[in-house]
Amino acid sequence: MVDIAGTFEPAKDIEKMNAGIFKAFEKTGDTPFELKELHIENPDKLFVPVSVLNELRRLLYAELEPEKIKRDLPPVNFKTPQQPGQIQDSTIVPNMSPKTPKWLIKTDDIQNVSQIDLASCDEISVLINPAFDIKTLAALPKEKVRISLPPVIRQTQAMQRVIDALSAQGFNKFEIANLSGLMMVPQNADISFDSFIPVLNTQSLASCFELGAARVTLSPEDTLDNLKKLTTLGENVAVCLYQDPALFISANCVRQNDCRACNRKTLHAQISNGKNKYELISKNCETVVVPQTPLCWSDEATTINAAAYRVDFCYKKYTPTEARQIFETVRAGKKVKNTSSFNLKKQFA
């Protein structure tokens, strides 16, 4: 039984209200339920906003779903906001230079890293999907693997099964790309926050650590001056030096079908708006658009001075040789050819 208390006004049109209630509870989405019967007891003929009905439905179906262990978000303490620049939070460990930076790789295809000397990298984040084959991880040193969740998860149940299976196999490092990921990963997991969770100031960085982030990767949309400020604040702050930044992500298939009989094949297409060229990639019935020119900041790594650097091989197709050459170029502090620094040198007034 779930309930929500509130002050409600009489409905102007009770028929419409009842239809609205039915519509709200009919939406069972990803749950294993379907609505068969609905009894409405509303003797005072009150009006309840759709947002309240939706919340009630969400709570109700969550309570009914036994296998969905009620993973609560970690407690968040809302404190009086500090002034930017005055942050003195104990959760932030100052990044004391000089140091040896950590090297991280993120990939959605393990083939990409097959020629890279993994002894030279500290961690490999593997981007999973609802149809992810866990067996492919056997090729990697388990202690270095971090499981990366995408920012958009539509098939939540299928994804949860993948996460639970990985957890059962002893994988305990996860990366979330959306705060709702906190409810999907095991409670005792080591959780890092991916750059899809935008961190562009000290307040948001502190909030991530308060939410339990073991590491935060800063935004690819940031500028050099701001990155420099943020990297001095955290031993656990990473910056991605090479990636194909996702400009658009949809958990929908690019094909016009309902995917039940989909061939699920990877599809690459070049698209252009007349000025810029982009690559559209559909993998596992999900669609991503990236610019044709990758982002590369490796020539500025010494200025950025982060405690950890990441190199991403996601979405676009890379041969193992290309990926190894890119990783080595980035590690050497050189800019990879035919790349862009995007906003890095831009001055925002």
Helix (H) or strand (E) holding 278: strand 277-283
104 binds Zn ion (CB under 5 A): no
Q: Residues 195-234: x/- map of binding to Zn ion (CB under 5 A)?
A: ----------------------------------------
Residue 84: is the preceding peptide bond cis (ω within 30°)? no
Q: How far is the CB of 259 from Zn ion (least distance, A)?
A: 4
Q: Quick one: 34 exposed, middle or buried, by C-beta within 10 A (0-12, 13-18, 19+)?
A: exposed
Between 95 and 282, CB nearer to Zn ion: 282
Give the pair of three-digit tokens for residue 165.
């299976």
312 phi, psi to nearest 5 deg: -110, 135
List 177, 253, 281, 323, residue binding Zn ion (CB under 5 A): 253
Q: How far is the CB of 154 from Zn ion (least distance, A)?
A: 12
Between 120 and 257, CB nearer to Zn ion: 257
Of residues 283 through 342, those in contact with Zn ion by CB under 5 A are 285
Between 125 and 155, CB nearer to Zn ion: 155
In whole angstroms, give the CA distance from residue 124 to residue 110.
9
Q: How far is the CB of 184 from Zn ion (least distance, A)?
A: 22
Q: How many residues bind Zn ion (CB under 5 A)?
A: 4
Half-sphere exposure of 291 (CA within 13 A, CB side): 15
Q: How far is the CB of 252 from Zn ion (least distance, A)?
A: 8
251 binds Zn ion (CB under 5 A): no
Strand, coil or helix: what is 184? coil
237 binds Zn ion (CB under 5 A): no
Contact 21, 53 (CB under 8 A): yes
In whole angstroms, give the CA distance from residue 217 to residue 281.
24
Token pair 């749950």: residue: 31
Between 188 and 263, CB nearer to Zn ion: 263
Between 253 and 326, CB nearer to Zn ion: 253
Q: Residues 260-289: x/- map of binding to Zn ion (CB under 5 A)?
A: --x----------------------x----
Q: Quick one: 218 exposed, middle or buried, by C-beta within 10 A (0-12, 13-18, 19+)?
A: buried
A 10 A CB-CB count for 39 gives 4
Q: How far is the CB of 268 from Zn ion (least distance, A)?
A: 15
Q: How far is the CB of 345 from Zn ion (least distance, A)?
A: 40
List 73, 165, 259, 271, residue binding Zn ion (CB under 5 A): 259
Number of residues in the chain: 349
Contact 298, 313 (CB under 8 A): no
Between 62 and 259, CB nearer to Zn ion: 259
Between 100 and 263, CB nearer to Zn ion: 263
Strand, coil or helix: what is 160? helix
| Residues at the interface with Zn ion (CB under 5 A) | 253, 259, 262, 285
